[in-house]
A = this chain, B = another copy of it.
Amino acid sequence: MNQNAVVLLSGGLDSTTVLAIAQDKGFNIHALSFDYGQRNRFELERASAIAEHYKVAQHKTVTIDLRAFGGSSLTSETPVEKNRSMDEIGRGIPATYVPVRNTLFLSYALAWAETLPAYDLFIGVNAVDTSGYPDCRPEFIRAFESLARLATKMGTEENREISVHAPLQELRKADIITRGMSLGVDYAMTNTCYDPDDTGVACGTCDACILRQKGFSEAGYEDPIAYQASRA
């Protein structure tokens, strides 16, 4: 029997690529999504469709209550920023930062891992995120591995290592797309936009859309999804 892995799956380009990578490595996939009151409700539908497409062993969606604490334009009524330049996108911590989101996501993944058991967690953090979000950096991932070992029965009584795989850590968007294409990922299934319209069509002008379009362009592939608009 293949070893279990818990894969964080948002339904976006990055996490779908990570799922394909984990499956390619031979893991038995347990996909975990979160309903955290994100304004983009299409993400969760895409996550379910992707989990089904990849015939994962299990897919769970856990509801978590991040709006209770406020602090991010992704979960509040603050407008998402549009048409920012690459310089603006790269500078500082963006308004879409959800406090401690990856800490919470990995903690839930670890809770599931402890019951399966699974000694391998997968997360889609990458070089673009790393520049803006503190909980996407390699030192954060390593700190979580240390914590995971101390926090669990499998890490203490069974004395097992727990690995947090971040296979996109050093990759830029174009590299991620190239890697995914080589594994046959169908990016038409994925949603990236922070602010799609009522039918799920991507805006084309939020930071996430801009980075996605730039990634496809640099990788030399055509982005298979439609957009409402291009950058002004």
Chain A contact residues, CB within 8 Å of chain B: 60, 62-66, 68-71, 92-93, 97, 99-104, 107-108, 110-112, 114-115, 134-135, 137, 139-140, 143-144, 146-147, 150-153, 155-157
Cβ B104 vs Cβ A100 within 8 A: no
Which B residue's beta carbon lies closest to that of A147? B143
Cβ A114 vs Cβ B64 within 8 A: no
User: With a CB–CB cut-off of 8 A, which chain B residues contact A99?
Assistant: 110-111, 114-115, 152-153
Of the residues B97, B144, B151, B156, contact of A102 by C-beta under 8 Å: B151
Q: How far, in whole Å, are A8 and B93 apart by their CA atoms in the complex?
A: 28
A150-B156 contact given A104-B111, A110-B100, CB 8 Å threshold: no
Of the residues B108, B140, B150, contact of A150 by C-beta under 8 Å: B140
Q: How far, in whole Å, are A103 and B134 apart by their CA atoms in the complex?
A: 18
User: With a CB–CB cut-off of 8 A, which chain B residues contact A66?
Assistant: 111
User: With a CB–CB cut-off of 8 A, which chain B residues contact A92?
Assistant: 157
Of the residues B70, B110, B146, B151, contact of A115 by C-beta under 8 Å: B70
A65-B63 contact given A143-B143, A150-B143, A151-B100, CB 8 Å threshold: yes
Enumerate 25 A-B pairs (CB-CB under 8 Å) in ascending A order. A62-B65, A63-B63, A69-B112, A69-B114, A70-B115, A93-B153, A93-B157, A97-B153, A99-B152, A99-B153, A100-B110, A104-B107, A104-B108, A104-B111, A107-B107, A134-B150, A134-B151, A134-B155, A135-B151, A140-B147, A143-B146, A143-B150, A143-B151, A146-B147, A147-B147
User: With a CB–CB cut-off of 8 A, which chain B residues contact A137?
Assistant: 150
User: With a CB–CB cut-off of 8 A, which chain B residues contact A144?
Assistant: 147
Cβ B103 vs Cβ A110 within 8 A: yes
Cβ A62 vs Cβ B68 within 8 A: yes
Q: Which of A134, A135, A139 gathers the greatest number of chain B CB atoms within 10 Å?
A: A134
A100-B107 contact given A134-B152, A150-B139, CB 8 Å threshold: yes
Q: How far, in whole Å, are A187 and B71 apart by their CA atoms in the complex?
A: 36
User: With a CB–CB cut-off of 8 A, which chain B residues contact A104?
Assistant: 104, 107-108, 111
What's the minimum C-beta distance from A8 to chain B, rounded to whole angstroms?
A: 14
